[in-house]
Every structure is written in C-alpha cells, then in structure tokens.
Amino acid sequence: MIVLLPPSETKAAGGSGASLTTARPGESPLGFPGLAVARSRALAALDRLVAAGQDVSTPAKARAAADNAAVRSAPTMPAIDRYTGVLYDALGAGSLDADARAWVETHVVIQSALLGFVRASDHIPAYKVSEHTKLPGERMRDLWSEAGAVIDGFALDLRSKAYAALAPVAGAVPVEIVSPEGKALNHWNKAGKGALVRSLAEAAVEVDSADALVRWAASASVPLTGTETGLRLVVQDPRLAPSEPGTAAGPVQDR
C-alpha cells in the first residue's frame, strides 16, 4: 500500500542531511532512481531560473529565492519533516511513536514539482517550486507525465487534482473529501487527509485494495466509504469540532 500526498508550499528551514550534490556515491538522499533524468532536467531548469534573477521584493520571496539558489548544496531533511502546513501539521509525523513513524516512512510518497515522487524518508532540501512555476526550457507536464510508473501496487491518492493530473498514477484510488452534510471542502480537506494518514500509521494498516481499506475504516470508526469513482472521507471543520492538538481524530467526523 502506498499513500500519495501532495507537497506543501511551506517548508521547514535547515536540515542536517547530506546535500543533493555532496552525498557519497550509492548514498543518494533520494529514492526512485528511475526519476533521475527528469530530476536532473528540473534542477538544470531551476539553475536557469536562478541565473535569470528571481523576485526578492518581500522577505518571503527573498527566502524562497535563496532556497532555490542553494538547492544543490543546502542541507537536507526527511521529506515528511520538510513539508509543513495544514495537512502535515494534522499528520504530525514528529509526534508519532517509532512504529507509526516507520509506517509513514515505508508507505507515504510525496509528489514534488521539483524532484518528482519522493518517499517520506527521502532527504530533500528547501526549495520554492510548485506545479505553476515556469521553469525555463521545461514544461512540468513533460517532466513528470511518466513519473507515475515508479508507483507499484495499491495506491491511495490524497493528492490535489492538479498534482494528480501532472503525474498520473495508473489505478490510484482518489479520495473525495466532504463535510458531514455532503458538501465539498477546500481548505479543511487538507486537515482531514493528514488525520487520515495519522490514523493509518498508528494502526499500521496493511491492505492491498480499496475494499480492504473500507473494511478497516468501518472497524476503526473512520468515516471512509466507497464510491463509484474511488473513496469518500467525511471531515468536520475543526473549528466546529475542536480536538486536542496532535490527535488523529482531528477533523475526521464519525457518522
């Protein structure tokens, strides 16, 4: 079982891992070696973007420009710790016990606009590239349209529609996020996704199909059900149902 997550615009600074260029032969900080050529093209295009000059008109933009300029030499950290924001805060990888953390490192794969698919345990630098970034001489779709071939087996797809379209994964099962009233959610669906992954990790779920996952969800009182096109997760706006920080229940609302 693989859980596919989108990246986050916000990222933690720093790191203590080897950079993309100083890792010793055979100790690359990145998995999925089949993406090496596409990654090299993306990094070369980012070099051209940096050389052309980036917007530094605000402190945030200046930091992003500095991260991009140092992307090859900067220290790295596990991707699951690098990405921040609503989804990753709800997942709370840093507060998981050792077994749940190991589950995340084995089962979670994150899609990066710069590096393609990376495992939760892969060490990555800070960078500022999204699916909307114009990389000189490259098109995002051309870079990553075939990247999904590296994903094997049952894949639970929690990516945004934009990232799923950028790198389609054959057979991946999408998850629709809705409120208890059945309405589509936007911002708070990220919290629901993070809480779902945390629940999966804490329960060390091992399934090989959507049907098996739905059966687990029913046994665990997780409001995840099957639909004609994939799965549906019911999520409560956490402002309406507050819970203790770092708990898996978070925005997931039982029916």
2-5 and 108-112 beta bridge pairing: parallel
Rounded to whole angstroms, how far apart are CA atoms 210 and 203? 16
How sure is the predictor about 248, in pLDDT bands with cuts at 50, 70 and 90? Answer: very low
Rounded to whole angstroms, how far apart are CA atoms 196 and 186? 16
pLDDT at 124 over 80: yes
pLDDT, tens digit, 9 for 90 and up, residues 41-56: 999 999 999 999 999 9
pLDDT at 252 over 70: no
Task: Please check whether residue 230 is in contact with residue 175, taking contact to mean a CB–CB distance below 8 angstroms.
Answer: yes
What is the predicted pLDDT for the residue at 254? 37
Mean pLDDT of the chain: 90
Instruction: Indicate the pTM of the whole model.
Output: 0.90
Rounded to whole angstroms, how far apart are CA atoms 5 and 218? 23
| Average pLDDT estimate for 218-246 | 78
Candidates 197, 178, 199, 174; CA nearest to 189 is 178
Range in 59-63, 156-160, 235-239 the model is least confident about: 235-239
pLDDT, tens digit, 9 for 90 and up, residues 187-200: 688 999 999 999 99
What is the predicted pLDDT for the residue at 246? 39
- 3-state SS class at 119: strand
Residue owning tokens 């084995």: 106
| Average pLDDT estimate for 211-233 | 96
> What are φ and ψ of residue 69, in 5° steps?
-65, -30
What is the predicted pLDDT for the residue at 133? 95
pLDDT at 241 over 70: no
> What DSSP assignment string belongs to 137-167?
T--HHHHHTTGGGG--S-EEE-S-HHHHHHS
pLDDT at 142 over 90: yes
Cβ neighbors of 134 (< 8 A, separation 6 or more) are 49
Cβ neighbors of 225 (< 8 A, separation 6 or more) are 214, 217, 231, 232
Q: What percent of the chain has pLDDT over 90?
A: 83
What are the start-end ranges of the E strands in the chain? Answer: 2-5, 77-78, 108-112, 116-119, 123-124, 155-157, 173-178, 224-226, 231-234
